[in-house]
Amino acid sequence: MHSDMAELQFREAIRAAMVEEMERDENIFLMGEEVAQYNGAYKVSEGMLDRFGPKRVIDTPISENGFAGLGIGAALNGLRPIIEFMTFNFSFVAFDQLINNAAKIRYMSGGQFKLPIVFRGPNGAAGQLGATHSTSTESIYATIPGLKVVAPSNPDDAKGLLKSAIRDDDPVIFLESEVMYGLRGEVSDEPDYLIPLGKARIAREGEDVTIVAHSKSYWIALRVADRLAEEGYSAEVIDPRTLRPLDIDTIVASIKKTNRCVIIDESNPYASISSEIAYQIQDRAFDYLDAPIRRITAKDVPAPYAKNLMEYYMPQEDDAYEACKQVMYAG
C-alpha cells in the first residue's frame, strides 16, 4: 500500500468524500431517508449527524418527490445539496423533479441559474430484491440532456468522482451498488483528491480485445481478462466511470488497437448504455473492427425474484468470456 493511500470500504470512501467536501464548504448538506439518526440505510452516512448536526444531515419522510424538489430549490438559492435515494428505484417517484426540473432549469433559464446538486444512492440489482428494487437506471438517466451520470466501480474512484460531482455546478446522478458497499480497496489520502467527470480509466492494457464495463460489471470484465490471459490472450479493460458525458475517445482509441469489442452492461439491453457505446464505436471506428461488437447485458425482462432466475437474468462471466472468444475467432 502506498503511503498516501488508505484501505477503505466502498461505503467509507463515499462517506469520506462527503465529509471532506462538507468540511470544506458549509453550503453542502446531506438529505434523505434515514441518513441521519439511522446512519444511512447502508451505513454510508455513519457518524455524519454527530459531526455536522441536524441542519446539515437531514432525515426526511418517505417522500422522494418532496425532498428531491426541496433539494432543487435549495440549489437554486445557493446551497449544494446531496440527496440520497435509499435505492434509485425510488427516484422514479421523483422523476419529474429530476428530468423536468433539475435537468432543464439551466437551459430553460438561458443560463441564469446553475443547479449544483448530487442525487446519489444504490442502483441496479442486489440479489433477490424483486423487480421494483432491481432496476439499473443509468441508461434511463443518461438519455436526459442536462444530467451527468456517474457509476464508479471501486472505492478510490467513488471518492474522487463524488468529490468532483459535489463541486460540479450541474446536477449529477451518482450511482452506487448495494453489493459493492463492503468492497475494500486503496483510496487516496490526498487532501484534495479529485477525479474529473467524463474521463474513462484504462484498468488493464491489452492487445487482442477491448472489454468495456462499468460499476460492478467491471469486476466481471477483470475475471474474464484473467481467464483469457491464461490462454495467451490479452484483453484491454476500460471502465468508463462517467456514462454521460462518455469518454468515447478513450474507448475508440482502444478499438483501433485491438479491433474487437465486448461490452458488459447490467442494464436491460434495449436502448441501453451498451447500445449507445456500440453505436458510437461503429460511427467512429467501423473500419477498424474485425468482428461485430458483442454485448452481454441483463435479460430483456423485469428482474425476477427466484435465485436461479436472478442468476440467469444478470450478465454472466461465462457469456462474456465466450463473447470475447467469438470476436477473436478463437474457437
What residues act catalytically? 64, 133
- Give the C-alpha separation, 54 to 31, whole Å: 10
DSSP string computed for 123-141: -S--SS--GGG----HHHH
Strand boundaries in 144-278, DSSP class E = 148-150, 172-176, 184-188, 201-204, 209-213, 235-239, 242-244, 261-265
Residues in the chain, total: 331
CB within 8 Å of 65: residues ≥ 6 apart: 93, 94, 96, 97
What is the spatial distance between Cα 168 and Cα 319, in angstroms, rounded to a whole number? 38
Nearest to 162 by CA among 134, 188, 135, 143: 188
Closest alpha carbon to 188 in 314, 30, 20: 20
Task: Please give the single-letter amino acid code of residue 7.
Answer: E
Neighbours of 263 (CB within 10 A): 30
* 47 vs 66: CA distance, rounded Å: 25
Asked if residue 245 has a cis previous peptide bond (ω within 30° of 0), the answer is: yes
